[in-house]
Structure 1
């Protein structure tokens, strides 16, 4: 596995139930992509993932947590406040983890 995504892509990492649902640990996704479009993109690739996994998952962008719901307030507009996932970025889908 390469440590960097291919040119023009960002790396999307799946953990826990996200990895189980997709049956993989990562995807390389074409960039740029608005953060507001990430879940719709994943739903096209993996039908049902939104309800099964994404609705309760945290998302990180370059190791910092981001709030996808706050981004949705932009109404799909490409405003200066909208977060864009760029080439070379790393995004992670982190479902809740229970311990016992």
Structure 2
């Protein structure tokens, strides 16, 4: 298995991150997960998803939480963070209790 430092010569899976879509995000994309190119600045995540799934920013992402490596992040406040190869990102719609 190639390490992150070998990503240029290793398998393509080391040059991607995994994004998980839950609930409405999964319905909108028709996917539960996919791999996207890495590294990717967090500030470019929404534009990339909007390019792939027109309308997702307004209809889905505006009300969702984003986690990077199991920690919630804010795409504005944490814009300087970079999603690295092998990282996991999740799009988490609001959870209601009843």
The TM-score normalised by the length of structure 2 is: 0.84
Structure 1 stretches of 4+ moved >6 Å: none
Distance of 2:72 and 2:87 partners within structure 1: 13
Q: Quick one: distance in 2 between partners of 1:98 and 1:52?
A: 18
- Aligned residue in 2 for 1:69: 76
RMSD value over aligned CA atoms? 1.3
What is the CA distance between 1:61 and its match in structure 2? 0.4
Gapped runs of 5+ residues in structure 2? 1-11
Flag structure 1 segments of 5+ consecutive residues without an equivalent. Answer: 73-81
1:37 equivalent to 2:44? Answer yes
**Residue in structure 2 matched with residue 49 of structure 1 by the alignment:** 56
* TM value normalised by structure 1: 0.82
Q: What is the CA-CA distance between 1:69 and the residue it aligns to? A: 2.1
Query: RCO greater where, 1 or 2, for CA within 8 Å and sep 6 or more?
Result: 1
1:93 maps to which residue? 91
Is 1:12 paired with 2:19?
A: yes
How many residues are aligned here?
Answer: 87
